[in-house]
Structure formats: structure tokens, C-alpha cells
Amino acid sequence: MSADPRAAAAAAAQWLGAREHFIDGAFCPSADGERRQVLDPATLETIAEVAEGEGADAERAITAARRAFDDSDWSRRPAAERAQLLEALAALIERDADALARLETVDSGKTVEESRWDMGDVASVMRYYAARARELGPDAPLEAPAPNARSVVAREAAGVCAMICPWNYPLLQASWKVAPAIAAGCTMVLKPSELTPLSTLRLAELVREAGIPDGVFNVALGTGARVGAALVESPAVDLVSFTGGLASGRAVMAAAARTVKRVALELGGKNPNIIFADADLDRALEHVLEGALFHAGQICSAGTRLLVESSVHDALVDALAARLERIRLGHGLVEGTEMGPLISEPQRVKVNHFVLEALEAGAELRAGGVPATTGFDGAFYRPTLLGGCDASMRAVQEEIFGPVFTVERFDSEAQALALANGTVYGLAAGFFTRDEARIERVSRALRFGTVWVNNFNVYFAAAPWGGYKQSGVGRELGHAGLDEYLETKHIYRSFESSPLGWFGRR
């Protein structure tokens, strides 16, 4: 990795060719010519300038996707053909993985090692859904209620999909939507975050190189207020898949309700990580760190809400505080960096406000709690540990989206479960114990879409991902992720029928 991260960041951004909307197989400027500067979060310096869209650009992209779905044979092609295209796209991602990882790092701020892991996962998701596409079988027969009839159930593409992606995992989250949509035969308009559009634009170039037909995959750049809202509200869109915060998810659901379109929401989480006294504490400590601090804690599934049994509380908290103080912050392209910056200065202000409010409410600062000095001007924040917390604190209940742990004590399994489930969220949870009977009890009792036992933040293409309660609606990944993009149709055919003769005969 480069000793001159600014030069390396400039080189990574320069590798990107197109910086415009991608509509109907071609890159094109915004209707009003507006542009947006994209910043490196580690330096807050401009690394690229891209098109900034509005509703008219969203409508152009929707029209292209609508035409590709309605007027071409895309959705009716053999699923095996779509599988081949996904495999071709996976191969291109693997070919360009290192350059894509560098682009993702300068765009989002995470370390390049994390970005490389992401690129491997993106290719894996593409290959997984290529395999699922090949499994899409013929119509499933039903037993008809009449002897001279045939009844089948068909699975068909949902139609035109609007995909609104977050800034924390730009390409990975996009793959969770794009791959199953292609496998199903849908067409799509993808809106990346206006903060992190660069790797998505490169994906558009790879989509074209892979041979995916024009209009199937489109990218509309811009803000949620201008472009995202137009996508959600359009009657020409059949399905909206949104990943982001709870407040935005509520707005998406309300807007989509006006045209009663299908909605899949992957929203936030406040994810408990429970440490029982019989756990392997050394192993638990490593997973506590890894489960919360990748991408500076800007992960919807970050296990930043620690629940620690009283008898081991002090030992674990002391060890965690010592480790947090030793974490090396810096530019993601610098060798030895363990954690990069937050995405922006407003995000750092938000994180710091949560910390200050918790301290005013009685929390104890055990580590961090201050912006970090790294030699760069980016939005760096020290990994922070707040002890002495209780469930009434906002920092315990709300998603901070930063490297901030809160710690609560418990004295019994029942108390731990009550605390863990006492949240409006239900995305993910984890716990550490050696007790086999407890593993079964607690796994079933936790009201979360994913539960990790003696680990944290493990995800892969075959495992469904999504939340209970206000963490969302629907699932991504796994077979369930493909089902989101398929409609179910019943077809009933009579070969010979005898009318009842009911109307107008008496």
C-alpha cells in the first residue's frame, strides 16, 4: 500500500472512467447539467466529480428499465442464460478486485483490506444467484378441482425495481439487490448514495462488458430527496428495495404505499452482544472488537451494545478499554491502518453528540470519546467505550453508526434476554457461552433476524439477511432474497367444462 495516500487516492479515482448516469446502456449527463464533488473521507479532499441528478433523470432511467422489461424478451429468456451473465459479471469483478477495492476505500473511508474482502463477497453473491437462477424450474402443478382442468403455479419476474443503496457498503449492498434481480429476470434502476457513487459507476461499466442487455441495469445519481423519491413514487416502478436508516425507511414505505408497490426494507439495528460468565473471555474479546469496529462501526449489524454478566464485567471491560486505546487509525490506503474515518464531518458530530449526551446521563467514559488526530483532516473518531450504561439512555437504544460501545450489566439469563429484546430493532444479536442448553434456549428467545453464537458479524450469500420489528421488511441473500424479486401466478385451464346455467335462465 502507498506511503503517499493522497497520490494513491487520486490514482484510484482516476481509474474510474465514466462519471455520469448510466441509462439504457450509455453514460449520460444530468438533464440540468448539475455536478457533485465526491470527497475522500480521510482527507475531506475532492477525489471525483460526478453527475448530480433530479427527478427527470430518474424518470429517464425508469423509462429505459420499463422498456427493457415490457418490450424485450429479457424476463422470458431461459434462466440459465441470465446465470451465465451473472457468472461473467462475477469474473470481471474478480479480475478488477484490487482496483475496485481501492476505489471503494477512497470513496467510503474503510481500510483497503476490508474493501478487498467486500469484493470477494460481491463476486460470491453473483455466483450464488447464478446457481439459484439455474434452479428456477418449470411451473409447479396443482391438483385441479375439476377432472378436465389443469392448474399450475408460475414464478415470474416482479418487474421494474428501484434499488436505493447506502454509503457504508456501496458495492456489496448493491450486489445483494442486483444479483437476485438479474436471476429473476427483473430490470432495475440503482441509486447509490450521493456520498459514495464511484464503485457503482464502475459496476455499470462491468455490466456492459459482461453483455447484460441495455436498459436492464441503470444507475441514477443524486440525493434521496430528488432522485430516490422520484423512484419510489413512480407508478412505473413495481418494487422498491431500500437499505438505510429507520426514518428514511418509514418515508419510503409511506411513499410506496400510494401506488401499493412491493417494498423490501433493510433498516437499522441496535445489536446486543451478550457475554455470559462461562464464556471463553479471550475469544469473546476478539469477536467483540471484530463484531463492532470494522468500517469504524458504520455497520447496521455492529454489535456495539454489550451486555456483560456481572461476575466477569470488570475483567472484560478493563481488557476491552486497553485494546481500544491501542487501535491504529489512519487513511485506509496506509499500511498498518486498523480503522479508517467516519464517512463525513456531520457523522462525526453526530457520534460525538451521542457520547456527550450519554456522559451527561451518567455513563462512564472508559476509552476514547474524542476526535482522533491522524495527520489527515478527515472525520476520525477514537474507538469509545461507555461503561455504566442503562437501557433508558438514548445511546443504548438508538443506532449511533460509529465506533462507540455501551456496556450494561446483567445478573441472570432472563434479565439478559429482557434487555437484549428491549429495543424497537431486531436485526442481529450474538452471545457467548459454553453451555449447550443455554445456546438452544437463548438462540430461540432472541427476537432478531440473525443470531450468532460464539461469533459476531458472520454473513454469506446463502444465509438470509433481514430484521424483525423496525429493522425492516423482507429478506436479502439466500433463497428468500430471490423470492423478493419473483411474483407468484396461478394459471387455471379448462379443457372441457359444463356451465352452471345460473344466470337469466329462469
Closest CA to 307 of 338, 275, 279: 275
Predicted local distance difference test score (pLDDT) of residue 130: 98
- AA identity, residue 439: I
Q: Are 289 and 281 in contact (CB under 8 A)?
A: no
Predicted local distance difference test score (pLDDT) of residue 3: 64
Q: How far apart are CA 332 and CA 115, in angstroms?
A: 9
Q: Is 302 exposed, middle or buried (0-12, 13-18, 19+ CB in 10 A)?
A: buried
357 Cβ contact partners less than 8 Å away, ≥ 6 residues apart: 393, 394, 395
Q: How far apart are CA 159 and CA 279, in angstroms?
A: 48
Q: Are 16 and 103 in contact (CB under 8 A)?
A: yes
Vertex 107 angle, CA 347 and 206, to 5°: 140
Cα R_g (the chain), whole angstroms: 24
Q: What are the CA-CA distances from residue 277 to residues 213, 292, 306, 332, 398 (Å)? A: 57, 20, 13, 36, 26
Q: Residue-wise pLDDT tens for the chain (506 aa)?
A: 456 888 988 898 888 887 999 999 999 999 999 999 999 999 999 999 999 999 999 999 999 999 999 999 999 999 999 999 999 999 999 999 999 999 999 999 999 999 999 999 999 999 999 999 999 989 999 998 888 999 999 999 999 999 999 999 999 999 999 999 999 999 999 999 999 999 999 999 999 999 999 999 999 999 999 999 999 999 999 999 999 999 999 999 999 999 999 999 999 999 999 999 999 999 999 999 999 999 999 999 999 999 999 999 999 999 999 999 999 999 999 989 999 999 999 999 999 999 999 999 999 999 999 999 888 999 999 999 999 999 999 999 999 999 999 999 999 999 999 999 999 999 999 999 999 999 999 999 999 999 999 999 999 999 999 999 999 999 999 999 999 999 999 999 999 878 888 888 76
Q: How far apart are CA 56 and CA 35, in angstroms?
A: 15
- The SS3 assignment for 113 reads helix
Closest CA to 240 of 162, 298, 312: 162
- The SS3 assignment for 229 reads helix
Catalytic residues: 266, 300
